[in-house]
Structure formats: structure tokens, C-alpha cells
A and B are shown apart, each in its own frame.
Chain A
Amino acid sequence: MAYLVLIGTRKGLFTATSDDRVHWSVDGPAKLDQDGFTAVAEIYAAACDPATGRVLVGASTFFGPSIWRSDDAARTWDEPEHAPMAFPQDLPYRPLDFSETAGIDQPDSPETNTVKRVWQLAFGPGDRVWAGVEPTSLWTSDDAGRTFTFNQALWDHPQHTTWASGAGGPAVHTIVTHPGEPGKLTVAISSGGIYQTTDDGATWNGITKGITVDYGPDEAPESGQCIHKVTRDAAGTLFAQSHGPAYRADRPDGGWTNISATLPTNFGFAMVAHPTRPGTVLAWPVGEAMDRTPPNARIAAWRTTDNGENWTSWAHGLPDENYYGTVMRDGACTDGDPADPGWYFGTRCGDVWAAADDGHWHQVAAHLPDVLCVRAMVTA
């Protein structure tokens, strides 16, 4: 078997390849463009499609955001001649910041909405690709990521008046696909909530009710929560890491169950479900008070195999000295290998590790710029 890992960092895209997920060869930073300015671009989004070998990368450069594409597993790159996405300029400006008008359209403002950053890319069936973007918006491509269409229905959702910015910016940062359920998609917004469509984006339902907050007067609002990550297991159950506890929703319209009782903290970002074992999920908790570092200064994945009822630390092979690098919301993934899935995560200290189920973590890369996203696939 051969494996490819895409490592998006604060300064460029790195790639790692391996035949055994133990010994790795690392390359980068990649020059996605011919002049090389993408070698220092922020890479918030990467996606890979094992069915085709296709890779998409969202880069934020000195010259604005764009999407690069590779059809040969990250060896060569191409970018559309025209902008892959552009906000309709007849929309009223919507500040999504920390001001008193956050989330409220400003028709009299001379400002307009513009694409600031691509936070998430996700492949769908055929040539379908979804993009989650800052400012908070969802975009759809049906030509494999060359051009994208703005999803007006999500933008117009009545709850947008409760949306604002997280510390990193206001974005649709998570896109959860539902294989076998055509037209269904779940997205997460920070800050804003979780939204689901069953008609391919024509209409959206807010499904955040039940996720509590300790940073607002209403402990259980309908929307506006700061959601850090949502993942879906093989049985279709959604798991969420909020800006607070972790949750499980067997039926999202029936609410969410707090599953943080045996996690070391009520805070974290990354959360990844097992591709084939229902109820198995990995999380990377972060100190919930002022110490936004790994609990007890020990880097570890935390794993549940019973839908979040019990969590245990999985740290075999990871450093046993103090470690202060956290795992960002897209800093972890699985390669999706149905026979023997591999797990991957990277930290803000620029370290990346990989492990097969129940195995030791092996270092993929060290001392990179801080890791923003990690994606992996089987290439042969």
C-alpha cells in the first residue's frame, strides 16, 4: 500500500508519502503556483479523493485566496484562470465580526462581501465539490472545483443574525457528507451553529439546539453557538466538539447528548469518526480555561469506542515530556482505508503523527510551521 498525507501549514503545503505508515518521506513547502508565492501561503483547506487521486487545496496568499488542484496525487498543480468563486456584489454587506451589528446586513454600507479564505473543501459524488468559506458561506462546484456557485439559501437563513466571528474568523469551516443519502449535507459554522439540508442546499434546518454555552446569557440558544468540529460515524451518528463540551446526536432534530463526562476537559477542536466502526471517535481535548494547551501538557488523542460514554487516552509513541502544541479543528483525519484505517494529526508545533488502529503513533514530520489541516488517502 502507498499513502499520501497533505499537511497544510501557516506557511505552505507539505506532503508526506509512505508505503507502511511508519517510515515517511516529507516534501515541501509546495510551489502550487509558478512564481512560488504559495510556498508561504496559509493552507487552511485540503481535500483528497482516493477514487480519482484528485487533490484540492485552498491557499490564502499575499494576492488573495484561491484553489489549486492536482489530478496526480499532489505532484503537479493547476489553478483556474478565472476566480473559482466570487461573492455576488449586489448583496448587502454583512459584518461577521465582534461588533454590535454582527450578522446583520448593512444595505447602506459602501462595503461589499468578498471571499477572504477557503476553510474547507469536500468531495461529493462525481465532480461535485463543496467549499466552506470566510465570510460564512457555502459554495458548490459541479466541475471538480474549477468554478463554484454561492449557496444563497444558507446565507439567507433567518438565524444569520446570530452569526458572528470566532477567534479565527467567521466561516463555514466544516462540511460533513452523507454517503448514500443524496441531497443531504451538514455544515458547521463558527460562530453560528450546525445546519443541515436534505434537498441539496435548497433549504437548511438549524440543528444546534441542545448544545449549551457558557459565554452568553442563554445557556441553550437555538443558534449562534461556536461549533468547532462535527464528524459523522459509519452509522450516520453526528458527533460535535463545541466551544465547550463534546456532543452526540443520534437524531439531530431530537437534540444533542453531552459526552464529555470522561474527557479531560470541556474544550477542544479536532474530532474524527472512525470510517467503518460505529461509535468510535477520536478527539484532541484542549485546556478549557486560560491554558489553551493539551491537558496536563501531554499530547494525546482521546478515543471512545462506545459513542462517547467512555474516553481513554491513546498516546503510545507520542512524546512523554511537556508538550504545548494543540491540534487545530482540521488538524486530524483518517485515510479512510476500509480494511485498516490510519489516523493522522498535526500540531501547532509543526509535528505530525500517524497510527493504524490501536497501534503506536509514528512521527510523519517534525518542526514544520504550525499545522492547520491534515488530510490523507491511500494512493495505491
Chain B
Amino acid sequence: MSTDVKIPAALASECGGARHLTVDLDEHATLADLLDAVAAAHPRLGRRLRDESGRLRRFVNVYIGDEESRRLQGLDTPLDGREIQILPSIAGG
């Protein structure tokens, strides 16, 4: 099953300038599975999104469909074919 991932401009160069990635995953894949696949293909993009413990970084938000993953089951959220959008919070003054 193909999953579409929207990449923010601030991270586009980490995947060759692409603003969209298409990732082939098992039909029961979770967000963690998707991020593992992204990190395998684009290691620097992978570590921009998660630390070495596997947790999402503080300012990285991942939307599954129209819900932010932390409001669902976090990294264990099944993707169910929904589009994924990565949106960083650019915080601070």
C-alpha cells in the first residue's frame, strides 16, 4: 500500500528537494513503520523528525489525515491509507 507524505519546505533538501514522498508499506503499518522507512531512505530526514529513542522531536508535528498524531495513538497509530503531513512548529521569539 502506498502512503503519501508531505514534506515541509524547511526539510525538503533532506530528501533531494522533494515536497512529497510516496512510501510503500504493509496495509497494517503504523506511523512508526512509516518513519522507519523514511529514515532508512533518508537518514538525515529521519533524525530531524525523531531522536535516538524513536520519539518525535518536540517541534515536529505529524498529521495523519487531519489529526495530529499525538492526539491519536502517537507512533502506534495505524495509517489506514491516510495522507501524512509533516508540519514543524516554528516556535520562539
Contact = CB atoms under 8 A, between A and B. Distances in A.
B49 interface: yes
B51 A114 contact: yes
Contacts of A143: none
A214 interface: no
A62 B52 contact: no
B57 interface: yes
A113 to B, nearest CB: 8
Interface string A14-45: 00000000000000000001111100100000
Interface string B1-43: 0000000011111100000000000000000000000000001
Interface residues of A, number: 20
Interface in A100-129: 112, 114-115
Given A81-B43, A83-B47, A83-B52, A63 B12 contact: no
Nearest to B57: A64
B44 interface: yes
A217 to B, nearest CB: 36
Chain A binding site: helix, strand, loop or mixed by DSSP?
loop
B49 A63 contact: yes
Given A62-B88, A81-B43, A114 B12 contact: no
A82 B12 CA distance: 17
Contacts, number: 52
Contact of B13 (A34, A82, A89, A115): A34
B72 interface: no
Contacts of A37: 10
B51 A35 contact: no
A226 B63 CA distance: 43
A83 B54 CA distance: 13
B52 A86 contact: yes
A89 B52 contact: yes
A87 interface: yes
Nearest to A64: B57
A34 B10 CA distance: 9
Contacts of B57: 62-64
Nearest to A84: B47
B90 to A, nearest CB: 6
A114 B52 contact: yes
A82 B39 CA distance: 10
B44 A35 contact: no
B53 A35 contact: no
A49 interface: no
Nearest to A65: B51
B48 interface: yes
Contacts of A64: 47-48, 51, 57
14 contacts: A62-B57, A62-B88, A62-B91, A63-B59, A63-B88, A64-B48, A64-B51, A64-B57, A79-B44, A81-B44, A82-B47, A86-B52, A89-B53, A114-B55
Interface of B: 9-14, 43-44, 47-49, 51-53, 55, 57, 59-60, 88-92
